[in-house]
Structures are given as structure tokens and as C-alpha cells.
């Protein structure tokens, strides 16, 4: 509906070029592939830190902040109710992990 309004719906005709532009813009805004790629990278780094023998608490805490940012961005970009529920669940799990990381040096 918003796309049609932006493209000029309600007037005599819809500007097809403008509609295509609005659709492309919406698709770009809702694309979360970069966030998913970064999530993958952060999780791989997190696992690598867990295998180390030296203190890694601060590094793990930093990565958890980055994971939380990516999850928040996904939640903001995707307006789907199911995705929003999953984002809340992931954030709750990240908070549990963060509490544990606070005890790691």
C-alpha cells in the first residue's frame, strides 16, 4: 500500500518507474544477507576464542555486543512477526551467554 502511495496511486495512473524504484528500495532495506554473513563470522570468532587457553573474557563480551547489534538490525529490517519473535528469543539467549562471559577472564 505504501509503495503504491509513493508511486502515485490515487492519481490517474501509477508511475511504473517510480513503483519499480520504490520496490527496489524496499527490497534493499529489508535485505539481511550482510547481517547474516557478519553473524556467521562473529560466531566463528566466538568459537575460536572458546578454544584458546589465554584470557578471552573481554573479547567474548565484545563479540556478544556485535552479535546483539546484528540481531537488532535484522529485527529492524524485517517487519515479520515470526522473525521478531525469533529476534527476541535470540537476544534472550545472548543475554544469558553474556552473564556467563562476565565470569570468564
Question: What band does 21 get if pLDDT is binned at 50, 70 and 90?
Answer: confident
CA 43 from chain center: how many Å? 14
| Predicted pLDDT of residue 30 | 75
So where are the chain's domains?
Answer: 1-30, 32-101
Nearest CA to 73 out of 41, 37, 42, 32 is that of: 32
Residue 11's φ and ψ, nearest 5 degrees, are -90, -175
What is the per-residue pLDDT across 57-87, written as a single tens digit (0 to 9) for each?
999 999 999 999 999 999 998 878 999 999 9
Cell of 73: 538490525
- What is the pTM for the complete model shown? 0.73
Amino acid at each position: 500500500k505504501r509503495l503504491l502511495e509513493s508511486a502515485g496511486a490515487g492519481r490517474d495512473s501509477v508511475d511504473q518507474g517510480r513503483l519499480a524504484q520504490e520496490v527496489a528500495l524496499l527490497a534493499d532495506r529489508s535485505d539481511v544477507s550482510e547481517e547474516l554473513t557478519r553473524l556467521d563470522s562473529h560466531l566463528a570468532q566466538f568459537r575460536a576464542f572458546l578454544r584458546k587457553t589465554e584470557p578471552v573474557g573481554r573479547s567474548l563480551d565484545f563479540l556478544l555486543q556485535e552479535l546483539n547489534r546484528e540481531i537488532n538490525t535484522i529485527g529492524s529490517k524485517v517487519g515479520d512477526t515470526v522473525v521478531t519473535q525469533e529476534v527476541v528469543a535470540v537476544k534472550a539467549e545472548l543475554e544469558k551467554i553474556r552473564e556467563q562471559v562476565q565470569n570468564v577472564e
